[in-house]
Amino acid sequence: MAQVLNRIQNYLLGTSLQQKLILLILPLSIIPLSILGTFSYYKSSQVVQKQVCQTILESLSQVNYSLNYFVKDIEQLTMYIYSNREIQDVLSKDGGRSLVEKHQDEKRINDILDTFLGFKSWNIAIYLLGSNGDRYFTGKLLPNQYDDYNVNWGLFRKMRLAGGNIIWDTHYSMKKLEDFGIVLSSGRLLKKIETSQPLGYMVVDIMEDALADKYNKAQLQPGGQMLLLDRNGYVISSSPSKHIVGTKLNEPYLENVLAGNKGFFELDSKNAPATMVIYDTSEITGFKMVSVVPVAVLTKESSSIRNLTYFIVIMLGVVSCWLAYVLSVTITHPLRKLRSLMYLVENGNMEVSFRSRYRDEVGQLGISFNKMVQRIKQLIDEVYNKQLMVQEAEIKAIQAQFNPHFLYNALDSINWMARIHKINDISQTVVSLGELLRFSIRKGQPFIQVQEDMQQIRNYLVIQKMRYGEKLEAELIIDQDIEALYTLKLLIQPLVENAITHGLELRPGKGHLRIHGSRVGERVRFEVSDDGVGIPPETVELLLHGKFESNDEHNTGIGLHNLKRRLELYFHSNYRFDIESKALQGTKVIIEIPVMRTAGEDRHV
């Protein structure tokens, strides 16, 4: 199992970004849609099922309402017969009267009964059973149980105990009845109104179709069944099947129906389809109208909702697939384009540019890519130019190597001649000039220690003081903590030369030159200041930006320009070069470079 999961994980992680987006979007859209569709169909089915059950329950209430009227009509009929004076008189007569009189009484009673039955089209039978032996009935035959009845037998016993009040009795059967017959009987004990003397019994038999006609008007669902039960759960009437009429209902839901008044519930059986049982109880008789309907029939009405739900889910699924594809292509297309541009850069083509109409993450990535390419091009150009400059300087150094060697040897001869003739000033000047020449022709690293570079400045000042005499006063102050650090070779000498030549030489009287070296944090600062004639502000701006051009061939500004170029070449932007000057007050040049503890420390380059 773990191997299968690892393979699936490796496959998903190894697919393209577009496929990952599609595999991510589709489940996030289709699964909620499917769940929502299933939930909607389930809830709608429940609502439809509940509404249909409520409709059936209302229909059952209407049937019970109609049966209540039927029962009241039967009760009124029995009351009319009970209180009829002629019937009372006939049943009060002696049973041994003449046959002629009995025949006349029979005709009178039958006319009365026919009159009562003529008001309504009932399928009932009326029996008057006198204590004097008279028997009157509306049917064609008199059942034996009514001709020779037993007062202690069920129906007659109930009438006797009721004392003249109406009673109802269900016809029970141990066997399945036919689809027709008597299903319900009603009766009263007949008594003399004046004396309350028992005169006999009145029985009204109600046929099954008389009751079935009442609930057949209700909407019987296909595959369902309607039942009319008495208080004890015996079936009085049923439709469409009538084979259980007269028997006690043998169903698992009978207990719930007898215990309740009205409502509906679902009966779920493992061996049979789920059914809904809807029932309503008559307030007068206590009879229960029961409708048993398969759940599948009730939810049939929701099939249109189910089909619509399936259609919507399928359509939204198709739309989700299309949107997933469009979104994945839209998102990954700029990335594929950026990847192809990177491939071109990887193969040396720097003339590429990513264009995006949007400022999203991909667009910002493209902007960063463009800046990166431009920066790479700039660095390549700088490295290339640096290499050219180094090669050019080496060539020039080789070409000029002869003259410094020749001049150094000549100066060494002059030094010995001056010492022989004891001319010390000439000897000191020649020695200083020789040291400068030896320093200039020495090859090696472009960086030297600060103390060594300052020694060359001292040699240079010796020569300049021999030239200017008392007109030049120089002060060299170098903090001890920077003497062992490294600086760029010949960094300060051009500044000293400019200060003397263009500042102090033009000043009337004695001039002062001050050279100060110190450490400021992680930088080394050199300040070269003089109290000479100064530099105009507009010239300072031009010098700082490398745009100064002079008409004076002796004052070209090339020294400062080359110094600034060397600073840019070796330190890029990690340096400071500043000029502070006021007319007739003097000039201060400030240079700051990073702290370098070794000559090979090229992290600033």
pLDDT in tens, 428-454: 676 677 666 666 666 567 888 999 989
Residue 149, classed as helix, strand or coil, is coil
Q: What are phi and psi of 291, to 5 degrees?
A: -120, 125
Residue 129, classed as helix, strand or coil, is strand
* Cβ proximity of 527 and 578 under 8 Å: no
Query: pLDDT averaged over the chain?
Result: 80
**What is the C-alpha to C-alpha distance for residues 199 and 187, in angstroms, rounded to an integer?**
14
Q: Quick one: pLDDT band at residue 164, thresholds 50, 70, 90?
A: confident
State yes or no: pLDDT of 128 exceeds 70. Answer: yes
Residue spans of beta strands (DSSP E) within 268-310 = 275-281, 288-294
DSSP assignment string, 177-234: --SSSEEEEEEEEEE-TTT--EEEEEEEEEEHHHHHHHHTTS-PPTT-EEEEE-TTSB
The pLDDT score that the predictor gives to residue 417 is: 66
The pLDDT score that the predictor gives to residue 369 is: 81
Query: Which among 168, 585, 570, 587 is positioned nearest to 382, based on CA atoms?
Result: 570
**What is the C-alpha to C-alpha distance for residues 520 and 509, in angstroms, rounded to an integer?**
35
The pLDDT score that the predictor gives to residue 409 is: 56
pLDDT tens-digit map of 182-212? 788 889 999 988 888 899 999 998 888 777 7
Q: What are phi and psi of 204, to 5 degrees?
A: -120, 115
pLDDT tens-digit map of 547-557? 776 555 545 45
Give the H/E segment covering residue 475.
strand 472-478
The pLDDT score that the predictor gives to residue 322 is: 80
534-541, Cβ contacts within 8 angstroms, sequence gap of 24 or more: 534/503, 534/581, 534/582, 534/583, 534/584, 534/585, 534/586, 534/587, 535/502, 535/579, 535/581, 535/587, 536/583, 537/581, 540/579, 540/581
Mean pLDDT over 146-169 rounds to 86
Query: Which among 576, 562, 565, 498 is positioned nearest to 533, based on CA atoms?
Result: 498
Q: Quick one: pLDDT band at residue 519, thresholds 50, 70, 90?
A: very high
pLDDT tens-digit map of 299-330? 666 666 667 777 777 887 788 778 777 777 77
Q: Quick one: pLDDT band at residue 511, thresholds 50, 70, 90?
A: very high
Give the H/E segment covering residue 421.
none
* Cβ proximity of 494 and 471 under 8 Å: no
**What is the C-alpha to C-alpha distance for residues 50 and 89, in angstroms, rounded to an integer?**
58
* Cβ proximity of 419 and 412 under 8 Å: no
Residue whose structure tokens are 């569709």: 37
The pLDDT score that the predictor gives to residue 524 is: 96
State yes or no: pLDDT of 264 exceeds 80. Answer: yes
**What is the C-alpha to C-alpha distance for residues 329 and 335, in angstroms, rounded to an integer?**
10
CA distances from 286 to 64, 105, 156, 168, 229 (A): 10, 38, 21, 11, 9
State yes or no: pLDDT of 599 exceeds 60. Answer: yes
State yes or no: pLDDT of 363 exceeds 50. Answer: yes
Q: Quick one: pLDDT band at residue 179, thresholds 50, 70, 90?
A: very low
Name the β-bridge partners of 186: 168, 204
Q: Quick one: pLDDT band at residue 350, thresholds 50, 70, 90?
A: confident
Residues 6+ positions from 252 with CB-CB distance below 8 Å:
267, 269
The pLDDT score that the predictor gives to residue 603 is: 44
Q: Which amino acid, residue 580? A: E
Q: Is the pTM of this model over 0.75?
A: no
The pLDDT score that the predictor gives to residue 402 is: 41
